[in-house]
Amino acid sequence: MVSKQNINVALIGNPNVGKTSVFNQLTGLNQQVGNYPGITVEKKIGFCKLPNNIKANILDLPGTYSLNASSIDENVVIELLLNKNDKLYPDVALVVTDVENLKRNLLLFTQIKDLEIPTILVINMADRMKFKGITLDIPYLEDHLKTKIALISSRKGYGIDELKKLIISYRTISNEPCLSASVIDPDYFNSLRKAFPNQLLYKLWLVITQDVNFLNLERNEIRSSFTKSHSDLKRLQQKETIKRYQFINDVLKEGLKIDASVARDYRSRLDRVLTHKVWGYVIFFLILFVIFQSIFEWSKIPMDFIDSTFASLSTIAAEKLPAGVLTNLISQGIIPGIGGILIFIPQIAFLFMFISILEESGYMSRVVFLMDKIMRKFGLSGKSVVPLISGTACAIPAIMATRNIENWKERLITILVTPFTTCSARLPVYAIIIALVIPDNRIFGFLNMQGMTLMLLYLLGFGMAIFSAYILNKILKIKRKTYFVVEMPNYKLPLFKNVGINVIEKTKAFIYGAGKIILAISIVLWFLASYGPGAKFNNAEKIVIEKNQNKPLPPADFENAVASQKLENSYIGIMGKAIEPAISPLGYDWKIGIAIISSFAAREVFVGTLATIYSVGGSDNEVTIKNKMAAEVNPVTGEKIFNFASGISLLLFYAFALQCASTLAITKKETNSWKWPVGQLIFMSGFAYVVALIAYQILK
């Protein structure tokens, strides 16, 4: 009998038990991802149609080991389960467990049962039972754990229908605790019960021991009349854990049998190689190498396709729509702006595809374990490896990939330093400047100097990321309990469905999160570059004609000369000139100033802007831009603008400065505050300025 047509279901479980897979099985793509208010823990809700026209809201809670909160993720779980007024408060809880780790997983189950919520025990990974020689006595377990059990395999999809049926009949499921909290310390708990007869005993206990916000409970009142010293509380908590495990052991002794002769142990053999002190690293770097080669190779075609599609869309819009401001806005502002967002999608999608394959297969946990010792010295976590490496493609997905770092301080540091790694948007800038100022010589006959410079710039990026992490670790005063728990899950073939959903979710998050800001900035830049005050801008054509009276220009050159005249006197041109005094000690003129300002939206804009400024003829391939840039001289000193000193200074500037609006946007999103992105901007760009200044002054 169900009176409500909408059932709230909470998915709870230890990390790596397959909770996400169960969630995906139940909800498919009907998912919404957001954040819990005020914190950065991801909140996932999905919808599921059950038989008899009943709908379920499935809330995927963060993975948690127990209800003794040690991270914000765990607080989220406890706060929801204790607050009956929350609109997501579950009608039924599904505690997901892994059949191979049942003993450890059941600890959380027994705690949830004490909260007197109807609870279904979902035993996942049933497909592994035969392989491991495991048999379960389901009726016995249901009886002793006072629950209903769904034995499922979210990988193979079995048991899901039975699970749905159990969800519908949640009212018939017992909500009795399976062991009473008072076994921990009968005297203490009995007096607690007497003082608050209307409250759940276990809830009171959590109020006393946990540091979470509970509504509807006089926390101070309870605490003051039932104080215990910190060490006494700790002792009681330990006793609680022991009692619970005793209970679980007793139940499993009868309910679960393992035939050890069946279990073949390929896992430990594989682990020995993959976490080996030497081979572990070699294999890891080989895998990385292959991944990056593939990301760059495979992204090239779709990226070029997106690029040319949007270029032709711009042209079509400009030709087909009636001439005017609106058309210009659409063809020069909005369409290129959207193109500038979508162009990142191939890299983001491929990167997340690889990351989720590595995670799904169980390999990532080995890497995290391997790297943790090294990273910890710099205030980072083993889990920072993924973001730092991903940063070579693009900082946006990289920062998004920090989400699984439990410790907030380590996560924040990772977010802040990741933009130092050399992302692919820096490549076009590096490429053209290196070609201009570094001679194409070889040392020792085989080391190409230009290639070496590029490699040095990559190393510089990593080095700077690690170094700033070290400094930030020293200065940031954030205290967080650190529990580094790496799970060593079994090796598994990745589930295609999980990988696919992850890629779609991450890409969507990028488009909606950072995309809006990139688009807005592109439009602002378009406006600043397309308008200017005064006659010099408005009468550009006339001025160019007058200048070239003696020798009229061919049409393509004429148009470029006009564009260049307009840009010089547009608002952005005026801004470029305004910042010239600040950047001339770095060896740059106002034209580079414009390029720096406009490439604030995204670094790769630098080359395009210079191309416009130097009004390169119709064939604007890089060689001609390069030749033009090489020929550019300072009208006062007669020196080349792009010389060794200013070139190195520019390279260093782009290596360190946070020239990327999308990074700011994503940092804001992930840290939920403007404080961090603004700090990041000031520090990185300030540092870049100083380094570029010193380099130019020494080298000039």
Cite the annotated binding site by residue number: 13-20, 24, 27-28, 38-42, 60-63, 124-127
Q: Residue 362 or residue 391: which is nearer to ligand GDP going by CB?
A: 362
Q: Is 16 an interacting residue with respect to ligand GDP (CB under 6 A)?
A: yes
Size of the site for ligand GDP (CB under 6 A): 22
Task: From 285-293, 346-354, 489-497, 563-571, give the range in contact with ligand GDP by CB under 6 A.
Answer: 489-497
Residue 60 C-beta: closest distance to ligand GDP, Å: 8
Ramachandran quadrant class, 53 (left: phi over 0; alpha: psi -120 to 50; beta: rest)? left
Q: Which of 494, 495, 508 is nearest to 349 (CA)?
A: 508
Binding-site member from 177, 337, 379, 489 for ligand GDP (CB under 6 A) = 489
How far is Cα 77 from Cα 149, in angstroms, rounded to an integer?
22
**Of all helices (H) and strands (E), which one includes residue 9?**
strand 6-13
| Contact residue for ligand GDP among 10, 17, 112, 388 (CB under 6 A) | 17
Rule CB under 6 A: is residue 603 a binding residue for ligand GDP?
no
Q: Which is nearer to ligand GDP, 102 or 684 (CB)?
A: 102
Q: Contact, 123 vs 18, CB < 8 A?
A: no
* Smallest separation (angstroms) from ligand GDP to the CB of 502: 9
Cβ proximity to ligand GDP, 42 vs 580, nearer residue:
42
Residue 269, Cβ neighbours under 10 Å: how many?
A: 10
155 vs 603 by CB, closer to ligand GDP: 155
Minimum CB separation of residue 108 from ligand GDP in Å reads: 12
Residue range at the interface with ligand GDP (CB under 6 A); choices 19-27, 392-400, 534-542, 674-682: 19-27
Q: How far is the CB of 262 from ligand GDP (least distance, A)?
A: 16
Site for ligand GDP in 445-484 (CB under 6 A): none
Cβ proximity to ligand GDP: between 20 and 111 the closer is 20
**Nearest to ligand GDP of 124, 565 (CB atom):** 124
Distance of CA 568 to the CA centre of its chain: 39
Helix (H, G, I), strand (E, B) or coil at 92: strand
How many separate helices (H) and strands (E) can be counted in the chain? Answer: 32, 11
**Strand pairing partners for 43?**
34
Q: Which helix (H) or strand (E) holds 163?
A: helix 160-168
User: Which residues belong to the annotated binding site for GTP?
Assistant: 13-20, 38-42, 60-63, 124-127
Q: Which of 10, 15, 461, 506 binds ligand GDP (CB under 6 A)?
A: 15
Answer yes or no whether residue 360 interacts with ligand GDP by CB under 6 A. Answer: yes
Q: Which of 82, 125, 348, 413 binds ligand GDP (CB under 6 A)?
A: 125
Using the minimum distance from each CB to ligand GDP, give the nearer residue, 7 or 99: 99
As beta bridge partners, residue 93 has 10, 119
| Shortest reach from residue 556's CB to ligand GDP, in Å | 56
CB 599 → ligand GDP: shortest distance, Å? Answer: 39
Instruction: Kindly state whether residue 20 participates in binding ligand GDP, applying the rule CB under 6 A.
Output: yes
Smallest separation (angstroms) from ligand GDP to the CB of 422: 31
CA-closest candidate to residue 73, choices 565, 333, 404: 404
Residue 48 corresponds to which tokens in the numbers above?
A: 């599921």
**Closest-CA residue to 195 (of 170, 221, 175):** 221
Q: Which residues are annotated as a binding site for Mg(2+)?
A: 24, 27-28
| Token pair for 511 | 């488009």
Q: Binding residue for ligand GDP (CB under 6 A) from 7, 9, 21, 354?
A: 21
CB of 153 to ligand GDP, least distance (A): 4
Tell me the sheet residues that pair with 149.
121
* Stretch near ligand GDP under the rule CB under 6 A, chosen from 11-19, 423-431, 561-569, 673-681: 11-19
Give, as ranges, the residues between 139 and 158 that touch ligand GDP (CB under 6 A): 153-155
Tokens of 182: 């008072």
For 148, residues 6+ apart whose C-beta sits below 8 A from its C-beta are 120, 121, 142, 166, 173
CB–CB of 101/159 below 8 Å? no
Collapsed DSSP state (helix, strand, coil) of residue 669: helix
* Structural contact between residues 510 and 344, judged by C-beta atoms closer than 8 angstroms: yes
Work out how close the CB of 397 gets to ligand GDP at its nearest, in angstroms, rounded to a whole number. Answer: 18
- Three-class secondary structure assignment of 602-655: ECCHHHHHHHHHCCCCCCCCHHHHHHHHHHCECCCCCCECCCHHHHHHHHHHHH
What is d(CA 301, CA 617) in angstroms, rounded to the nearest whole number?
Answer: 26
Contact assessment for residue 604 and residue 569, using Cβ atoms and an 8 Å cutoff = no
CB of 356 to ligand GDP, least distance (A): 9
CB of 15 to ligand GDP, least distance (A): 5
The region of 45-53, 120-128, 242-250, 570-578 touching ligand GDP under the rule CB under 6 A is 120-128
Considering only 121-129, 432-440, 600-608, 674-682, which stretch makes contact with ligand GDP by CB under 6 A?
121-129
Measured from the CB atom, the residue of 127 and 137 that comes closer to ligand GDP is: 127
Interaction between residue 31 and ligand GDP (CB under 6 A) = no
Report helix, strand or coil for 256.
Answer: strand
Q: Identify which of 586, 598, 601 has the alpha carbon closest to the alpha carbon of residue 652.
A: 586
If DSSP codes are grouped into helix, strand and coil, which group holds residue 480? Answer: coil
User: 605-613 and 555-569 are packed helices; what angle lies between their axes, rounded to 10 degrees?
Assistant: 110
Per-residue x/- track, 648-687, ligand GDP (CB under 6 A): ----------------------------------------
CA distance 573 to 592: 10
Tell me the β-bridge partners of 119: 93
Q: How big is the chain, counted in residues?
A: 700
Q: For ligand GDP, what does the binding mask look like between residues 55 and 74, x meaning CB under 6 A?
A: --------x-----------
- Nearer to ligand GDP (CB atom), residue 114 or residue 360: 360
Q: How far is 223 from 591, CA to CA, in rounded Å?
A: 67
**What is the DSSP secondary structure assignment for residue 391, as one 8-state letter?**
T
Options 495, 562, 602, 655; binder of ligand GDP; rule CB under 6 A: 495
Near ligand GDP by CB under 6 A: residue from 492, 497, 536, 628: 492
How far apart are CB 96 and ligand GDP at their closest, in Å?
7
Contact between residue 514 and residue 397 where contact means Cβ atoms under 8 Å apart? no
Q: Which ranges in 83-154 belong to alpha helices (H)?
A: 102-114, 129-132, 138-145
The residue from 40, 75, 124, 649 that contacts ligand GDP (CB under 6 A) is 124
Task: Judge contact between 593 and 579, C-beta under 8 A.
Answer: yes
* Residue 497 CB, nearest approach to ligand GDP (Å): 9
Q: Contact positions toward ligand GDP, by CB under 6 A? A: 13, 15-21, 63, 124-125, 127-128, 153-155, 360, 362, 489, 492, 495, 498
